[in-house]
Amino acid sequence: MTTDMTYDEYMSYASEIGTLERLLERTPEHRTIQRIGFQDRLELVRQKIEGVSVPPRPRRVAATFGGEPVIDNHGIDANFGAEAVTIFSDTIRLTTAASTGELKATGGIPCTAMSQPIITGVALGSFGFVMELPEPPSRQGVNHPEQAVNQVQELLRLAKEGADDDLSQATADLHPRAVIKVMELLDFMRKKRAHFAISYQDNEVRFDSTTEIEDAARRLNLANVERQTREVVGTLIGVVPDILLFQLDPTEGESIHGRIGPEAGDAYQIGIDHTNRRVRAQVRTVRIGRGAPRHTLLNVSEMPATPNAF
């Protein structure tokens, strides 16, 4: 049986069935008319969900705001709310698109339809919005937008209170355009003297003051981030495909180990094609503050064999 019923509608009917059943249990037999009313409604609601599978639960993100753009207990500045949600939405789209390996340094954002959140309501108990993430993409190799939300939340949390080493790793794991967009979100909040929280499932990252936002923005500021992309020639010692790790021994310098980025292609195939072989690799290195450098493999190709000298 097919249905256009949403998860919320289904759960509302299921809850109503439970309520009606309890009412019938508590209603004496002699209250015939009242019982008939409950029974008729119970039968009607049961028919509505009969044969209907429970629809998938929506993946919802709440973005709530405080500070100067919030007008007492009355409302929130519309221009501020629209721009803040747009920046956050763009961050999710960029992070999701990066998992395809198709996101370029400039230009449009690929796979937008797979990652565009939609506003479905207002956040209860505060001023903000609830955004629903799209269904998991059918295209293989594309992360679900909820993974992008988790990554963005983690980057914000580490910018607020994490160690430099951990922040370096989180920054290295995100595409530079996504990191810049997170910085834009913090800078926007700072300029508007606002504070905010991003909540998803049981995870929340919260900035309760302009000072916290300024400190996080400073840590993510480009002046505090050392980022370098370079070509390295050496031997690929090996990869761990399940957790996307690699180790590369350059011809000169210390061994490099880090993450395999989506730009590099399939990690299993990289291991098959290049392990223990001389390669030319493109590696992005990120260091924040005094943290250790974090490396991401962007591309790898086998070096041509050197002709024998006579």
> Would residue 258 count as lying in a domain?
yes
CA separation for the pair 121, 130 (Å, rounded): 5
Mean pLDDT across the chain, nearest whole number?
A: 84
What is the extent of the structural domain holding 68? 60-220
Task: Kindly state whether residues 234 and 215 are assigned to the same domain.
Answer: no
pLDDT at residue 186 in the model: 93
CA separation for the pair 125, 270 (Å, rounded): 50
Which one of 45-59, 123-137, 148-162, 281-295 scores highest in mean pLDDT? Answer: 148-162
Task: Kindly state whether residues 87 and 33 are assigned to the same domain.
Answer: no
Q: What is the DSSP letter of 35?
A: H
CA separation for the pair 266, 278 (Å, rounded): 19
Task: Kindly state whether residues 206 and 277 are assigned to the same domain.
Answer: no
Task: Kindly state whether residues 97 and 141 are assigned to the same domain.
Answer: yes
Task: Kindly tell me if the per-residue pLDDT of 136 is higher than 70.
Answer: no
pLDDT at residue 310 in the model: 44
CA separation for the pair 66, 179 (Å, rounded): 23
Residue 154: CB atoms within 10 A of its CB come to: 19
CATH number, residue 286: 2.40.50.320
Residue 238: phi and psi, rounded to 5, are 170, 170
pLDDT at residue 202 in the model: 84
> Would residue 181 count as lying in a domain?
yes
> Would residue 161 count as lying in a domain?
yes
Task: Kindly tell me if the per-residue pLDDT of 3 is higher than 50.
Answer: yes
pLDDT at residue 222 in the model: 62
Task: Kindly state whether residues 233 and 201 are assigned to the same domain.
Answer: no
pLDDT at residue 306 in the model: 61
Q: What is the largest CA-CA distance in the chain?
A: 110
Task: Kindly state whether residues 81 and 192 are assigned to the same domain.
Answer: yes
Task: Kindly tell me if the per-residue pLDDT of 309 is higher than 80.
Answer: no
- 117 in Cβ contact with 58 (< 8 Å): no
> Would residue 180 count as lying in a domain?
yes
CA nearest to 11, candidates 40, 62, 48 = 48
Its pTM surpasses 0.75: no
Task: Kindly state whether residues 255 and 163 are assigned to the same domain.
Answer: no
Q: What is the DSSP letter of 86?
A: H
> Would residue 126 count as lying in a domain?
yes
Residue 29: phi and psi, rounded to 5, are -60, -30
Each residue's pLDDT tens digit, 223-261: 567 888 899 999 999 999 888 899 999 988 889 989 888
* Final residue in a domain of this structure, among 220, 248, 265: 220
pLDDT category, 109, cuts 50, 70, 90? confident
Alpha-carbon dihedral sign for residues 274, 275, 278, 279: positive
| Token pair of 238 as six digits | 């090996």
Task: Kindly tell me if the per-residue pLDDT of 96 is higher than 90.
Answer: no
Percentage of residues of the chain with pLDDT beyond 90: 27
Task: Kindly state whether residues 17 and 122 are assigned to the same domain.
Answer: no
CA separation for the pair 123, 130 (Å, rounded): 6
Task: Kindly state whether residues 195 and 233 are assigned to the same domain.
Answer: no
CA separation for the pair 181, 94 (Å, rounded): 9
> Would residue 93 count as lying in a domain?
yes
Taking residues 52-58, report their average pLDDT: 75
> Would residue 308 count as lying in a domain?
no
* Domain count within the chain: 3
